């Protein structure tokens, strides 16, 4: 099913479409919420990471999952994961970690100094 493919897209994932489709939905929800300034409960991220591991065990290439997740990130943030986390972002976020990071909170000094 996955043999001979360097990268597969979510729609091409024969036999794993429901899992990969659900992952795409979850990535989109997480990234869109974070881009809008909302929080994402850790359980949502952790469950999606578990689903990513299951997809790899079912034969999906990690590179295909990363590419699909990057597409969801681009849709929400307007730039690739690499733009925010560097070209070696997987070194800091090893598979299956999802770089689900929210916007920085504004900091206002509470003292005059």
Q: Which residues does 107 contact at the CB level (< 8 Å), separation at least 6?
A: none
pLDDT, residue 18, reads 87
Q: What is the pLDDT of residues 21-68, one digit of tens each?
A: 999 999 999 999 999 999 899 999 999 999 999 999 988 999 999 999
Integer Cα distance of 71 and 69 in angstroms: 5
pLDDT, residue 15, reads 54
pLDDT, residue 16, reads 62
All structural domains of the chain with their residue ranges: 10-92
Length of the chain: 113
Residue 111 predicted with pLDDT over 90 = no
**pLDDT above 90 as % of the chain:** 65
């Amino acid at each position: 099913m996955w043999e001979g493919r360097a990268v597969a897209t979510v729609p091409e994932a024969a036999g794993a479409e429901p899992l990969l489709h659900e992952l795409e939905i979850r990535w989109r929800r997480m990234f869109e919420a974070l881009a809008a300034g909302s929080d994402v409960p850790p359980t949502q991220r952790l469950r999606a990471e578990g689903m990513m591991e299951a997809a790899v065990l079912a034969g999906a290439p990690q590179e295909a999952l990363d590419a699909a997740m990057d597409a969801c990130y681009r849709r929400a943030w307007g730039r690739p994961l690499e733009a925010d986390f560097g070209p070696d972002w997987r070194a800091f976020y090893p598979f299956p970690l999802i770089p689900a990071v929210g916007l920085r909170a504004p900091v206002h000094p509470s003292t005059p100094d």
